[in-house]
Structure 1
Amino acid sequence: MDMLTKVLVIGVGGTTNSGKTTLTKRLTDAIPGSSSMCQDNFSFGKDLGDERLNSLRIPELDCWNWEKIEALDMEKMVEDIQTKIDEHSCSVLFVEGFLIFNYEPLLSFFGKKYFLTLTQEECRRRRSLRVYNPADGPQYFDKVVWPEYINVLEQVKLQPDVKFLDGTQDQDEIFNQVLGKVKQLLKNMGQDV
């Protein structure tokens, strides 16, 4: 790759279980020389430290709120994205996560932003099929996951350059729509796909 070639960064955000990871994997597989980064890999988890972990504690549910930006090492994520860009190690970098559009330092990286939505019922249904560690408590979805998602969604709606996609649509349709746009952006940048 020419060292002057710019890395195109595509953000794939959305609610839990909306298809972010599946879409990102398919796009990465379809575009030679592309790479991906998942926000989940930047979770502090139990390594957060007692004081910061306590700030995420929800005593009435006897659990922690893993849906907040404070549960993620966002500074490290920004650093890792910048390194990928500086090294020109890929032509397209897909960045996916549930809070990627809610952290100001990330926003300037994105050449295009997609946000996958779901209804509360569908989100609950899909989440109930997954195994989490730690496991969701009986009220975690209704009292934490969904309210946090609504807050995130309201913030993302204020950004004029986000393309919202219905996560219940056919996955092939979503994939083809995004792939077509990414290929067009690469072509506009003078890159062959």
Structure 2
Amino acid sequence: MALGNLTFLFGIGGATCSGKTTVSKIVARELELLSYNVDVVHQDSYYKTELDDVYLADVNFWNFDSIDAVDFPKLLQRVQLLCAENCCRSKVSIIIVEGSMIYHFPPLHDMFKEKFFFTIDKNSSKLRRRRRQYEIADVECYFEKYVWPSYLNSLKMAEDNADSFLFVNGEDELNENISYVLREIMKHVVVDDNNNNK
């Protein structure tokens, strides 16, 4: 949906290590070069500091892939604040929200103009995740027991509502995915920008 006259919200969700964050950052830079005002809100910046509720005794770890691990009300508050600030701007503003579970919080889900869902093969995701440096490293079995099942749950939700999502293969060339996401965003933004300039 369009938020105010000139603000648009786009979601980039899906699998872990599928390129969501990288694509979000590069697309934001490209949009800024086109003179749009752009903000990126990352789900990973809103993990709760108290995680006792998502502690997993079987693996002696926290379930960072549970929606309860993220302070989504606080994330939503940030998005709403950005929308309010953008209402005072004279040019089109774009907000990109990025994260693996962003489509599981209804108040946020319903705000997106377009929803991108990044997919990836299990082995590719696991290999990329193993190579990535996390502040808190995964413990053995966490990926198999929690990370991947959480993604499959999200994927099923997206596939059951396929008309509401644009699917992106995270194993395709990065530049292809950047171009695709940018092109789809521009379809909405340019049309509305032209209408507002008439």
- Same fold, judged at TM 0.5 (above): yes
Paired residues of 2:6 and 2:193 also in contact (CA < 8 A):
no
How many pairs does the alignment contain?
A: 183
- Kindly state the Cα deviation for residue 158 of structure 1 after the two structures are TM-superposed: 2.6
Encode CA deviations 1:132-172: one digit per residue, 9 max, x unaligned: 23211111111111111111211222333101111000111
Aligned to 2:6: 6
3-state DSSP class of the match of 1:67?
A: coil
In structure 2, C-alpha distance between the alignment counterparts of 1:163 and 1:154, rounded to whole Å: 14
State the TM-score, normalized to the length of structure 1. 0.89
Map of 1:50-69 to 2, 5 A cutoff? 53-69=51-67
Distance 1:54 1:181 in 2: 40
Matched residue, 2:41: 37
Which of 174, 177, 186 in structure 1 is aligned with 2:180? 177
Distance 2:39 2:191 in 1: 20
Task: Pick one of 128, 144, 147 that aligns with 1:145.
Answer: 147
In 2, the alpha carbon distance for the partners of 1:140 and 1:43 equals 18
Secondary structure of 2:58's counterpart equals helix
Residue pair 1:102, 1:156 contacting (<8 A) in 2 also = no
Between the aligned residues of both structures, percent identity stands at: 28
CA contact (8 A) 1:13 1:99 kept: yes
Aligned-partner Cα distance in 2 for 1:131–1:182: 30
Match of 2:103 in 1: 101
| Residue 77 of structure 1 pairs with residue 81 of structure 2 | no
Deviation of 1:103 after TM superposition, in Å, equals: 0.9
The secondary structure found in structure 2 opposite 1:131 is coil
Encode CA deviations 1:113-144: one digit per residue, 9 max, x unaligned. 10101010000010000122321111111111
Tell me whether 178-187 or 16-25 shows the greater mean CA deviation: 178-187
Pairing 1:131–2:133 present = yes
Confirm or deny: 8 A CA contact 1:10 1:94 kept in the other structure: yes
Structure 2 unmatched runs, 5+: none
User: Aligned partners of 1:59, 1:17: CA distance in 2, in Å?
Assistant: 25
CA distance in 2, matches of 1:173, 1:5: 30
Match of 1:18 in 2: 18
Q: What is the CA–CA distance in structure 1 between the aligned matches of 2:193 and 2:9, rounded to whole Å?
A: 15
Please tell me whether the aligned partners of residues 43 and 75 of structure 2 are also in contact (alpha carbons under 8 angstroms).
yes
TM-score (norm 2): 0.87
Contact residue 36 and residue 93 of structure 1 kept, 8 A? yes
Distance 1:190 1:132 in 2: 40
2:110 and 2:81 map into 1 onto residues whose CA distance is 15
